[in-house]
């Protein structure tokens, strides 16, 4: 077996390869044995063995000659979400925030230095359904979203620097912050204000306001936000009313989490 | 490497073990290294290697001393669902069925001989939110649900027998069909009627009506159903009106799939 | 100039080629000069001349390096439709038919032996929006739609035979009529009944009922129809009520046309 | 073949003539061979050849002794529209704008220096149905409509001057801007305000408010507007509320386009 040490723990090459198979099946929406073998530089018989094992374990299904991820992933994903503290305590608040603002409301957390969407709800006038549905299916960078910046603002600076080292500061629009010092200064002002904005930094014409959700001991758990067209998120509403609404929602979620922790130790 | 042959294809023991790790993490909602080692009869260092590799591949996160499945599974699951032909063509029909009936509406398919929930929507008076949410996270048997029986009715009898061989006919209530011949007779009458019922066969006090969704060449793709309390699903409504509504929904979904295939070849 | 005689009239090769350019631009959604030259077996400079001339005449626009049909076609198309006698006298009837039936209502005519959609309106429960939108952009065969068969039933048999000679009787489902004698017998019974049905002959799960619209001297001008899922278009409704509704709509349209002709000669 | 050079590319006289035939058929709503020959200064046999070729290619139909454009143009036109980025991303916004304002809402773009209507929807109180339906069938000048001026305001001044050179500044009412310097000053103030008005410049008694739709890199793609009677479009509503509503609609359309571009590169 071809393994190598990572820190103190070894990595299992065969397991890593199996994860690559899963990733390839998702990216290509189903592959044949030959295509998979070529994509991952495996022998055909080896590719077949990976697929066969994942199929026996019900993570993969075969349709005709192609292999696809099974609906087991939907079960696993829903299970992960239902147990997530932010979903448990934040879902109803996000529902209400979408209703109050009429725009898209989002709940997310950081995992592996990337933004992970946990839950999203379109309000009555929400724009970008297709976009947000597409985003839901892949992680995104943290430095150009209001939620991502709200989270970054409450991580240790060494962690922020390490995330930027890993992923860089990809430019999405002319307003994206692509300089580390500028980002660190922005994070400082987010901490002072209590909320973050995405001022057309991801998409031209779209703004967002996000606030961090923190545990009782100050650790950042994720963030909540509202996004919408710049023509509606402007003036007083953008600079005052909406930030207060979003921070209130973060606070309500935090309080719910803290009460649940407290009731466990009653 | 310790492999064995399955049919013509080999199974990779290490990959199978990685799948067991994923399953264990889901079942126990997070485990420590020692607990995992004991659960899967691995050495501690080996357990650590599995977890470490899955973490590097972003399928697992570590919180304190315990390991959990990551939100990557939610992304993978949503991706699988969005590409599923029944979700693409059936989602809006299920939404409408929930609205018309006021009860819980379900869309499912069979995978590996088990029922897989694809989408569910509570109508205005729907009961059993927690139950259906829990079900959504694990596959279920086919022989006691209206959707499961609607699907079984359109599989080859050899496949039905093989599924029953694998999983048995578990009894859930006094009404569950637990005899193979009785089940085969029931499937025959489902084919004749065009729909299946779950008459308190899964849960006392809950009935359901389901209809199969089939492709243009007759292959069964899944099923659609409505479930609700026996006090509301009774008499004329249960025996006539609701079955027609559910069969109409199945027909609309089938027609939408067929039209999408047809428009590709215009 | 490379021309040939057709009947008594000559065909202009250069004009025919220009029509091919238009067709290619529509089919490929924009092409570059080289791609067009290859597709039509022209020299690059010749392809460029065709595109340049059509652009000068405003039928083509250039975006970057590719050429596309211009919105002039939308103007021309709307102009053709607004002057069409069936649109002028049938539009409001089709609107009403969609409202009464709740299904998709269609108005069409035959041109060059193919079905041409003139106008379509979705009713409240209509299914197949994407399909009907796609169909709207290309002509279809006559022998498997209710409108097409209603029209064929009132053409001379020699013309029916000539259309079948040109296009064949393409099979779309197991119910499509693919035998000329069977088709002629069906047309006979359509003439007797006064309406035509499409009983899952185009799409599995979809039925339609259509009636011809004829001028005062008996010439068939087109047809009007309602299409919907088989589960709703069945029994009494499919065999009696809907045919009467569709024939009434055809009659109202015919009367409106006849009154307009009559008023011209008052 | 009688060709001439245009810039670097040649123009094909025969193709240009075919386009003239199409234009003549549209303008006169059908012509006979003799009439066409006279209109275009062709020999009768030549006119016949043009008509015959276009008929073979299904762009023309013959009714009795006259030739007409076929419904193929409706297919081609709908196809062009469905692929237009403004229709894809702006249609639902125009629908909503018509509903909110109760007036006629319009979506247009510029092609060949003229205004091209892409989509229009009458609101509940909309006036001018016949007028807007007629306009839909022919391009119009840019300098007297709110959408046209909104687009002109974001073209290069050299392009504006070239368009004015080609078409002049035709007077429609006493309020039409017919002086180039006045127009350039107006465009400057449109850029500052963010929207354009048509203050009875096209039709006495009718006002309109339009806003440009621009791509992420600032290129103007088209415009969106609301038109209605001066008695309703006045005071606060005309000067403040409606402009904000129209600019918001432009922004939502722009954001939808930008999100669709962004999701392609996620």
User: Considering only residues 92 to 131 of chain A, which have any Cβ-Cβ distance to chain B shorter than 8 Å?
Assistant: 109, 111-112, 116, 118
Q: Please give the pLDDT value at position A264.
A: 67
Across chain C, mean pLDDT equals 92
SS3 state at C75: helix
Across chain B, mean pLDDT equals 92
Q: Please give the pLDDT value at position A4.
A: 43
Residue A259, pLDDT > 80, answer yes
Distance CA A117, CA D71 (A): 48
| Within a domain: A154 | yes
Residue A266, pLDDT > 90, answer no
Q: Would an 8 Å CB–CB cutoff place C217 in contact with chain D?
A: no
Contact between B61 and B68 under an 8 Å Cβ cutoff? The reply is: yes
Residues D119, D94: one domain? yes
Across chain A, mean pLDDT equals 92
Contact between B69 and B60 under an 8 Å Cβ cutoff? The reply is: yes
Q: Please give the pLDDT value at position B3.
A: 40
The pLDDT > 90 percentage for chain B reads 84
Q: Please give the pLDDT value at position B2.
A: 39
Residues C52, C134: one domain? no
Q: Which residue of B has its CA nearest to A73?
A: B77
Rounded to two decimals, what is the model's pTM? 0.86
- When pLDDT is averaged across residues A251-257 and rounded to a whole number, the result is 95
Residues A65, A91: one domain? no
Residue C8, pLDDT > 70, answer no
Residue whose token pair is 């050179």: D165
Residues D163, D201: one domain? yes
Classify strands A206-214 and A196-199 as parallel, antiparallel or unpaired: antiparallel
Residue B99, pLDDT > 90, answer yes
Query: What is the ipTM score, two decimals?
Result: 0.90
Residue A131, pLDDT > 90, answer no
User: Considering only residues 4 to 33 of chain B, which have any Cβ-Cβ distance to chain A shorter than 8 Å?
Assistant: 6, 9-12, 14-16, 18-20, 22-23, 26, 29
pLDDT digits (tens, 9 = 90+) for A5-21: 444 567 899 999 999 99
Range of the domain at A29: 3-73
Contacts of B244 in chain C (CB under 8 A): 231
Residue A62, pLDDT > 70, answer yes
Residues C59, C118: one domain? no
Q: Which are the contacts of B226, defined by CB distance < 8 A and separation ≥ 6?
A: B97, B98, B101, B103, B104, B105, B106, B208, B209, B210, B233, B242, B245, B246
Number of Cα atoms under 13 Å in the Cβ half of residue A264: 5
- When pLDDT is averaged across residues C132-137 and rounded to a whole number, the result is 73
Contact between A30 and A55 under an 8 Å Cβ cutoff? The reply is: no
Q: In this complex, do B254 and C127 lie within 8 Å of one another by their Cβ atoms?
A: no
| Within a domain: B100 | yes
Which residue, of D46, D73, D100, is where some domain finishes?
Answer: D73
- When pLDDT is averaged across residues B47-53 and rounded to a whole number, the result is 96
With CA atoms as reference, report the closest residue to B78 among A74, A25, A81, A21.
Answer: A74
Q: Which of D248, D263, D266 sits opposite A229 (nearest CB)?
A: D248
DSSP for chain A, please give it.
Answer: ---EEETTEEE-HHHHHHHHHHHHHHHHTSB-HHHHHHHHT--HHHHHHHHHHHHHTTSEEEETTEEEE-THHHHHHHHHHHH-HHHHHHHHHHHHHHHHHSSEEEEEEEETTEEEEEEEE--TT---HHHHHHHHTS-B-STTSHHHHHHHTTS-HHHHHHHHHHH-----STTS---HHHHHHHHHHHHHHS-EEEESSSSTTEEEEEEEEE-TTS-EEEEEEEEEETTTS-HHIIIIIHHHHHHHHHHHHHHHHHHHHHHHT-
Distance CA A94, CA A19 (A): 33
Residues A90, A153: one domain? yes
Q: Please give the pLDDT value at position B265.
A: 56
Instruction: Kindly list the distances between the CA atom of residue B243 and the CA atoms of A71, B97, B145, B234, C257, in Å, as whole numbers in the listed order.
Output: 27, 12, 15, 11, 45
| Within a domain: A11 | yes
Q: Which residue of C has its CA nearest to B248?
A: C231
**Alpha helical stretches, state H, D102-201:** 129-135, 146-152, 157-167, 180-193
Q: Which H/E stretch holds residue C199?
A: strand C196-199
Number of domains in chain A: 2
Residue whose token pair is 């012509």: D31
Classify strands C220-229 and C206-214 as parallel, antiparallel or unpaired: antiparallel
Which residue, of D30, D46, D73, is where some domain finishes?
Answer: D73
Contacts of A130 in chain D (CB under 8 A): 259-260, 263
| Within a domain: D254 | yes
Q: Which of A19, A70, A77 sits opposite B78 (nearest CB)?
A: A77
Distance CA C246, CA C146 (A): 11
pLDDT digits (tens, 9 = 90+) for B77-87: 999 999 999 99
| Within a domain: A231 | yes
Q: Please give the pLDDT value at position C133.
A: 77
Q: Please give the pLDDT value at position D1.
A: 37
Residues C44, C103: one domain? no
| Within a domain: D179 | yes
Q: Which of C140, C172, C203 sits opposite B255 (nearest CB)?
A: C203
Q: Please give the pLDDT value at position D117.
A: 92
Residues D96, D129: one domain? yes
Instruction: Kindly list the distances between the CA atom of residue C169 and the CA atoms of A103, A141, B265, C141, C163, in Å, as whole numbers in the listed order.
Output: 52, 55, 15, 8, 9
Q: Please give the pLDDT value at position C131.
A: 81
Q: Please give the pLDDT value at position D264.
A: 62
Q: CATH number, domain at A113? A: 3.30.450.40
Contact between A180 and A169 under an 8 Å Cβ cutoff? The reply is: yes
pLDDT digits (tens, 9 = 90+) for C74-104: 999 999 999 999 999 999 999 999 999 999 9
| Within a domain: B78 | no
With CA atoms as reference, report the closest residue to D153 among D180, D192, D106.
Answer: D192
Buried b (16+ CB within 10 A) or exposed e, D222-243: bbbbbbbbeeebeeeebeeebb
Residue C205, pLDDT > 70, answer yes
Which residue, of D41, D73, D105, is where some domain finishes?
Answer: D73
B138 versus C39: the higher-pLDDT residue is: C39
Query: Would you write out chain D's pLDDT as a tens digit for each of its 266 residues?
Result: 334 444 456 789 999 999 999 999 999 988 999 999 999 999 999 999 999 999 999 999 999 999 999 999 999 999 999 999 999 999 999 999 999 999 999 999 999 999 999 999 999 998 877 777 767 666 789 999 999 999 999 999 999 999 999 999 999 999 999 999 999 999 999 999 999 999 999 999 999 999 999 999 899 999 999 999 999 999 999 999 999 999 999 999 999 999 988 766 55
Phi, psi (rounded to 5 degrees) for C264: -70, -25
Q: In this complex, do D61 and C111 lie within 8 Å of one another by their Cβ atoms?
A: yes
The pLDDT > 90 percentage for chain C reads 85
Q: Please give the pLDDT value at position C264.
A: 67
Interface-testing mutation among C102, C206, C233, with chain B (most B C-beta atoms within 10 A): C206
Q: Which residue of D has its CA nearest to A230?
A: D251
Residues C17, C100: one domain? no
Residues A184, A215: one domain? yes
Beta bridge partners of C215: none
Q: CATH number, domain at A35? A: 1.10.10.10
- When pLDDT is averaged across residues C108-132 and rounded to a whole number, the result is 91
Residues D55, D178: one domain? no
Gap from A130 CA to chain D (nearest CA, Å): 8
With CA atoms as reference, report the closest residue to C213 among C250, C178, C180, C249.
Answer: C250
Q: Please give the pLDDT value at position B264.
A: 63
- When pLDDT is averaged across residues C125-145 and rounded to a whole number, the result is 83
Interface-testing mutation among A28, A32, A53, with chain B (most B C-beta atoms within 10 A): A53
Q: Which two tokens stand for residue D121?
A: 């929807």
Provide, for chain D, the percentages of residues in helix, strand and coil under a 3-state DSSP scheme, each rounded to the nearest 5: 50, 20, 30
Residues D185, D259: one domain? yes
| Within a domain: D173 | yes
Q: Please give the pLDDT value at position C203.
A: 94
Residue B7, pLDDT > 70, answer no
């Amino acid at each position: 077996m071809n393994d190598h040490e990572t820190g103190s723990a070894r990595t299992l090459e065969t397991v890593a390869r199996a994860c690559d198979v899963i990733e390839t099946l998702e990216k290509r929406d189903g592959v044949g044995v030959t295509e998979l073998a070529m994509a991952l530089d495996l022998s055909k018989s080896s590719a077949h063995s990976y697929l066969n094992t994942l199929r026996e374990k019900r993570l993969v299904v075969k349709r005709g000659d192609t292999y696809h991820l099974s609906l087991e992933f939907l079960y696993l994903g829903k299970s992960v979400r239902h147990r997530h503290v932010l979903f448990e305590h934040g879902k109803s608040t996000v529902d209400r925030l979408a209703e109050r603002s009429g725009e898209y409301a989002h709940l997310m957390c950081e995992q592996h230095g990337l933004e992970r969407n946990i839950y999203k709800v379109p309000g009555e006038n929400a724009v970008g359904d297709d976009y947000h549905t597409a985003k839901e299916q892949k992680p995104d960078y943290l430095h150009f979203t209001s939620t991502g910046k709200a989270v970054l603002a409450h991580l240790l600076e060494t962690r922020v620097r390490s995330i930027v080292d890993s992923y860089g500061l990809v430019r999405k629009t002319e307003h994206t912050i692509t300089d580390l010092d500028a980002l660190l200064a922005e994070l400082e002002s987010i901490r002072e204000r209590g909320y973050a904005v995405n001022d057309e930094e991801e998409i031209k014409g779209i703004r967002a306001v996000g606030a961090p959700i923190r545990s009782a001991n100050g650790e950042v758990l994720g963030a909540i936000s509202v996004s919408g067209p710049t023509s509606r998120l402007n003036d007083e509403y953008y600079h005052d009313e909406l930030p207060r609404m979003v921070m209130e929602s973060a606070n309500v979620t935090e309080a719910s989490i803290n009460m649940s922790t407290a009731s466990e130790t009653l």
